């Protein structure tokens, strides 16, 4: 069979390209490129009922023994008849009230959801809330309290590249499987089917395969530092590049999903491009840093604050370069090297209705402009 992006999920459901969560993507044999693939067969008063942190590093055996009871298998049926259209993912217990955290793409279009615990007992689950912009969902089961073992949540902002981590889930339907690896990189920008990228994502080489989606990524103290969500692959199987939503995002999104069923993301209302060396030279900039605004959306926070997009282009050696737009140099005194820095700051620190101060370069002069963030439109 041609392996240029045709993914077969078998019993665990179709592996889906994350650029369009619900669409099977087929690339031409002539141009095989690694695609970002969803690895899916498909406060309470305190966030996730955080338990005291372990003060020392644990062995992989200890991590598994402490965590396996808090990891569940999520079976999804996407048709009324239950024939042929479903999938398997993973999830983890968030609190003693029966809330389970998983990926939004795992439960997308679900007609029926069944959660299975370590001892084999299964319960029907209902969807409490989903957020496609971060690929996070919360489902709930009315399970025996003895089965509900919330996993402790760590702080993903403390992770370091090279730090050992472990993933637990149900790859290819094999329940309760553990893999290990390291943090390969932090702050990745992950394309999503919503049209907006997911910021601040963890990259890891711990094996993540179809069925792992929604399972926990754990540090060596046994704390959840991420939620496994996608792989980069041409075949749909793991090739050494996996991605996880950071716990910093989970802690912010999940309690709101439990309370309100949805999460409203802050929005600026601009599009543009990062300043690269060629563009910096053409614009007469000393350093290739910052984000050039090309388009300002009408009636957006950016428009209301008076930000200006590019009004013309200049062609150099056959390449068109935008000219004349504002260049964002910092947000809330945090340097902007590229768009990732803006998106990470919005995700970590901002909410709808907050003010954000942008330092911009306009007509060779820097100035500060304050915008009031609005809800991101669909």
Q: Which residues are the active-site residues?
A: 105, 135, 213
Tell me the C-alpha distance between 171 and 122, whole Å.
Answer: 18
Is 143 in contact with 121 (CB distance < 8 Å)? yes
């Amino acid at each position: 069979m041609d392996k240029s992006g045709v993914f077969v999920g078998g019993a665990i459901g179709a592996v889906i390209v994350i650029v369009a969560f619900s669409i099977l993507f087929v690339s031409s044999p002539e141009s095989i490129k690694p695609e970002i693939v969803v690895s899916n067969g498909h406060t309470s008063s305190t966030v996730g009922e955080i338990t005291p942190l372990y003060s020392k590093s644990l062995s992989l055996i200890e991590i598994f023994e402490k965590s396996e009871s808090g990891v569940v298998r999520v079976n999804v049926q996407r048709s009324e008849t239950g024939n042929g259209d479903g999938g398997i993912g993973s999830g983890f217990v968030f609190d003693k009230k029966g809330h389970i955290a998983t990926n939004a793409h795992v439960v997308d279009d679900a007609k029926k959801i069944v959660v299975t615990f370590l001892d084999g007992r299964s319960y029907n689950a209902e969807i409490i809330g989903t957020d496609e912009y971060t690929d996070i969902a919360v489902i709930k089961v009315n399970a025996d309290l003895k089965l509900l073992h919330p996993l402790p949540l760590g702080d993903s902002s403390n992770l370091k590249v090279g730090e050992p981590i472990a993933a637990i889930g149900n790859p290819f339907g094999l329940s309760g499987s553990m893999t290990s690896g390291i943090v390969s990189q932090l702050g990745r920008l992950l394309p999503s089917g919503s049209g907006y990228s997911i910021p601040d994502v963890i990259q890891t080489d711990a094996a993540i395969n179809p069925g792992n989606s929604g399972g926990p990524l754990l540090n060596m103290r046994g704390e959840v530092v991420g939620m496994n969500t996608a792989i980069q692959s041409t075949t749909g199987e793991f090739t050494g590049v996996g991605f996880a939503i950071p716990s910093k995002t989970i802690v912010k999104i999940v309690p709101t999903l439990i309370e309100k069923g949805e999460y409203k993301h802050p929005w600026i209302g601009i599009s543009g491009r990062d300043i690269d060396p060629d563009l910096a030279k053409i614009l007469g900039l000393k350093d290739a840093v910052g984000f050039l605004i090309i388009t300002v959306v009408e009636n957006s926070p950016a428009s209301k604050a008076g930000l200006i997009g590019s009004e013309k282009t200049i062609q150099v050696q056959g390449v068109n370069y935008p000219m004349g737009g504002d260049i964002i140099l910092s947000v809330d005194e945090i340097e902007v090297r590229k768009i990732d820095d803006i998106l990470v700051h919005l995700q970590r620190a901002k909410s709808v209705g907050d003010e954000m101060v942008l330092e911009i370069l306009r007509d060779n002069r820097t100035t500060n402009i304050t915008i009031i963030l609005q809800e991101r439109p669909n």
